[in-house]
Structure 1
Amino acid sequence: MAFEGLSERLQSTIQQIKGKGKVTEADIKAMMREVRLALLEADVNFKVVKQFTQTVKERALGADVMESLTPGQQVIKIVQEELTHIMGDEQTKINMSQKPPTVVMMVGLQGAGKTTTAGKLALNMRKKHNKKPLLIAGDIYRPAAINQLKTVGKQIDIPVFSLGDQVSPVEIAKQGLQHAKEEHLDFVIIDTAGRLHIDGDLMEELSNIKELVNPDEIMLVVDAMTGQDAVNVAESFNDQLDITGVTLTKLDGDTRGGAALSIRAVTEKPIKFIGMSEKMDGLEPFHPERMASRILGMGDVMSLIEKAQGQIDEDKAKEMEQRMRKNEFSFNDFLTSMDQMQNMGGLETILGMFPGVNKKMLNNANFDERQIDYFKAIILSMTDEERDQPAIINPSRKKRIAKGSGRPLSEVNKLLKQFNEMKKMMKQFTGNKGKGKKGRKGNPFAGMNLPF
């Protein structure tokens, strides 16, 4: 995950001051020295680092902190607030036109993920805002760019407007916008050309498109993995086009995350979206306060709730609850639960959003996400009757299921054992409200040796 190194370093640093009953000026200076090094190593702009540490130090040395009953906690609160501040204080939503269609112009260098992000944004607008999007293929220079956008559009069932690669991008944008109006499509995304570097011809073309379509949003797409270069790119595009927002891609990769902590402070333009996975639904609104909480190991429960709401079918959830209460929970229900968990990013991603759960804890837990796929293969090798009534699975059936799934017999036995343990646990929680021997005291999962 992004910010991994920074997160571990900052959490380690603030842990030293967290429980202190008294905080001295020397403690604050030592902490700021560590914070400064952590931020610089994360490729945060040095001017931003200087301003950040100076502000935190000044606030931390104030009388309201030094004389507080919990000074350590107060200092952590200040660090969180200032981290949130440099990333933009609060979520900035996409600009919507009062008179449809809303027009978004996607700009950025080649390789930043602009075309894929255009598709992700279109899907996001349709699912979350009930919009009817149109993608316009305005990149006539990069080989296969038009076909790539058409492939993306087909994948998410969103129309793509194209005039091929022999018509000027300005004309394509003009006719595409007219097509959207005729078809009553209310959200237009123009995928423009990029270069390997910024040049005059590129900027002139983008300026001409901007002048013609008068976009509601000029969305700069930058690759978070390029670190400080991403900030330089954002500055250049902003100076020449006056961008309205930024989308950071590849924030789920092995990146130091400095771009997210620098772009807003340097350009004064908000980060509006972040790409958290390669999946088409892997585009998330950027919440500065939630990201600050994630970095400091305070969790991100709101994003977890939103993920759940987006992936879990409410009717199915209610039906499953009723089946649990009647002790009718089957392998089909178990399969549905595993699918939903994988759609939310897997158990490790989900647990990573809980307060107090850090990367080290997750590594020590030794999750094997492949085990979910193995279990799914075993369940899919069962007959409908076996999934509904696992009690009928005798030794000969187990052998057939093992052979059909390509998994060892020991794994089939392990799954059946854990499924029965889970059913017992559910019965205790739904039947006598958790007051049994595995009720409110202790860990109800203890001894289950869950592999996921």
Structure 2
Amino acid sequence: MFENLSSKLEQAFKTLKGQGRITDINVAQTVKEIRKALIDADVNYKVAKTVTDSILKEAIGREVLIAVKPGELLTKIVYDHLTSLMGGEKTDISLKGDPAVVLIAGLQGSGKTTFSGKLASHIKKQNKNVLLVACDIYRPAAIDQLKVLGEQVGVEVYSEPENKDAVTIAKNAIAYAKANNKKVVIVDTAGRLAVDEQMMKEIAAVKQAIQPSETLFVVDSMTGQDAVNTAKTFNERLDFDGVVLTKLDGDTRGGAALSIKSEVNKPIKFVGNGEKMDALDAFYPDRMAQRILGMGDVLSLVERAQMVFDEEEAKRINQKLRKNQFDFNDFLSQLEQVKKMGDMKDLVSMIPGVGKALKDVDINEDAFKPIVAMIQSMTPQERANPDMINGSRRKRIAAGSGVQIQQVNNLMKHFEELRKMMKMMNNVKEGKMKMPNMKMFK
């Protein structure tokens, strides 16, 4: 996500390395590079110029504190302006009404149906009874796709396959929701081109008929500035409440995320980071600015962990750590929890410094497969008692999991290091020992 933009901004800030203060000359060159980076990321030229002019005006002549380097100060200024450019603060979805109605609109192929399923899953986790409505009456298999997604997330789907009137289907669905105690109705509509007048009239008629509490415009972030232009056209007809950026995990330059709020004056409310039903995040402008500038996003990482990690499981692991009984069964359980947190490359990018260090490393969903295979090739006794795994057992585990003996040795080594580290951190947390003086390791 935003790897190219992040890399170019980092290069721009290097202009100020070794400088004692920010001057007209050195900051002008840096801001010129920042503007070029934004334009290369497909940010509208006018938007890029406006924001960089503001950065330049604020930065020139700023005194640099002894403890703060000029590059760090400019990074902070750029962070503030990027955050403001993307909306300043998180904007929540409105779920007023009984039932609350959310209308989903967008272009063909933008990911509306997938997002509808993700949103249903997201809202269901808030203990709300959700109904998905299939109002795409044109695309073949659209109803079937929504039903598959609904089944995946455990949400009922309302459809009328023989009916070709989207307005009637939407109205009937809301009546059904009221009769069946559904608290939120998500209406998935057909993709449409902004130049198709008949289709634009239809979506406007659906909105007029159902009076949604929230209208969301779904756009493919990989289309860059085209996404912004399309959003402007749709907004003139629909006056939507917020934007959803899909496919942000793809090879996107970031122009849509950086430009759309400024161009349309409507907030980004959600971003999609993959195909899985839990790959949906609320949009935080400040956190996205941090990630663009290579600062990571620890808050989002912690929130994802809190969503998937079971409190009782954490207590059980904690007790085993106290008794030095953490074993491969526990390790496998922790791996499964981590896999639930989402795309690995996206998770890594949230850790300050790590995402940049691993930007050229291919981290995919199969990263844990060899580890899982090795653990599953162990006997129940070996998993519960890692210390009993000697040389001959390691050879058998390697053969059984289809890996080299060196990989088994590495797993054993890293597992032991992990066990020691977790025990130490647990002791620090309980106040039984102090952290070592890190100077001794320098």
TM-score band by shorter chain is over 0.9
Matches within 5 A, 1:22-33: 22-33=21-32
Secondary structure of 2:368's partner? helix
With over 3 angstroms needed to count, the CA separation of the structure-2 counterparts of 1:54 and 1:161, relative to structure 1, is same
Alignment counterpart, residue 177 of structure 1, candidates 174, 178, 200? 174
- How far is 1:75 from its partner? 2.6
Alignment counterpart, residue 226 of structure 2, candidates 226, 229, 238? 229
Equivalent position amino acid for 2:59 in 1: A
With over 3 angstroms needed to count, the CA separation of the structure-2 counterparts of 1:376 and 1:111, relative to structure 1, is same
1:101 & 1:256 partners in 2: Cα distance? 38
Which residue does the alignment assign to 1:414? 410
- How far is 1:53 from its partner? 1.1
Tell me, yes or no, if structure 1 residue 201 matches structure 2 residue 198: yes
With over 3 angstroms needed to count, the CA separation of the structure-2 counterparts of 1:376 and 1:262, relative to structure 1, is same
Which shows bigger deviation, 25-34 or 117-126? 25-34
Contact residue 113 and residue 223 of structure 1 kept, 8 A: yes
- How far is 1:186 from its partner? 0.6
Alignment counterpart, residue 318 of structure 1, candidates 303, 306, 315? 315
With over 3 angstroms needed to count, the CA separation of the structure-2 counterparts of 1:202 and 1:340, relative to structure 1, is same
Alignment counterpart, residue 121 of structure 1, candidates 115, 119, 122? 119
- How far is 1:24 from its partner? 0.9
- Per-residue CA deviations over 1:218-258 (Å, capped at 9, x if unaligned) read 10000000111100110010011101100000001111010
Contact residue 428 and residue 439 of structure 1 kept, 8 A: no
Which residue does the alignment assign to 1:423? 419
2:366 & 2:229 partners in 1: Cα distance? 40
Alignment counterpart, residue 293 of structure 1, candidates 290, 293, 310? 290
TM-score (norm 2): 0.92
- Per-residue CA deviations over 1:189-210 (Å, capped at 9, x if unaligned) read 0001113553101111011111
With over 3 angstroms needed to count, the CA separation of the structure-2 counterparts of 1:19 and 1:153, relative to structure 1, is farther
With over 3 angstroms needed to count, the CA separation of the structure-2 counterparts of 1:222 and 1:309, relative to structure 1, is same
Which residue does the alignment assign to 1:378? 374
Equivalent position amino acid for 2:108 in 1: Q
2:239 & 2:174 partners in 1: Cα distance? 21
Which shows bigger deviation, 158-167 or 397-406? 397-406
Which shows bigger deviation, 369-378 or 328-337? 369-378
Tell me, yes or no, if structure 1 residue 106 matches structure 2 residue 104: yes
Matches within 5 A, 1:34-113: 34-61=33-60, 65-66=62-63, 70=68, 71-97=70-96, 99-113=97-111
With over 3 angstroms needed to count, the CA separation of the structure-2 counterparts of 1:314 and 1:16, relative to structure 1, is farther
Which residue does the alignment assign to 1:343? 340
With over 3 angstroms needed to count, the CA separation of the structure-2 counterparts of 1:201 and 1:411, relative to structure 1, is same
Secondary structure of 2:438's partner? coil
Which residue does the alignment assign to 1:265? 262
Tell me, yes or no, if structure 1 residue 402 matches structure 2 residue 401: no
Secondary structure of 2:294's partner? coil
With over 3 angstroms needed to count, the CA separation of the structure-2 counterparts of 1:443 and 1:85, relative to structure 1, is farther
Equivalent position amino acid for 2:11 in 1: S
Which shows bigger deviation, 8-17 or 35-44? 8-17
Secondary structure of 1:269's partner? coil
- How far is 1:94 from its partner? 0.3
1:426 & 1:285 partners in 2: Cα distance? 31
1:24 & 1:256 partners in 2: Cα distance? 30
Contact residue 85 and residue 262 of structure 2 kept, 8 A: yes
Equivalent position amino acid for 1:117 in 2: F
Any unmatched runs of 5+ in structure 1? 447-452
Which residue does the alignment assign to 1:281? 278
Contact residue 60 and residue 66 of structure 1 kept, 8 A: no
2:440 & 2:219 partners in 1: Cα distance? 44
With over 3 angstroms needed to count, the CA separation of the structure-2 counterparts of 1:348 and 1:249, relative to structure 1, is closer
Secondary structure of 1:106's partner? strand
Which residue does the alignment assign to 2:20? 21
| CA RMSD, Structure 1 to Structure 2 (Å) | 2.5
| Percentage of pairs with the same residue | 47
Alignment counterpart, residue 299 of structure 2, candidates 298, 302, 314? 302
- How far is 1:130 from its partner? 2.0
Contact residue 386 and residue 392 of structure 1 kept, 8 A: yes
With over 3 angstroms needed to count, the CA separation of the structure-2 counterparts of 1:277 and 1:258, relative to structure 1, is same
1:369 & 1:434 partners in 2: Cα distance? 38
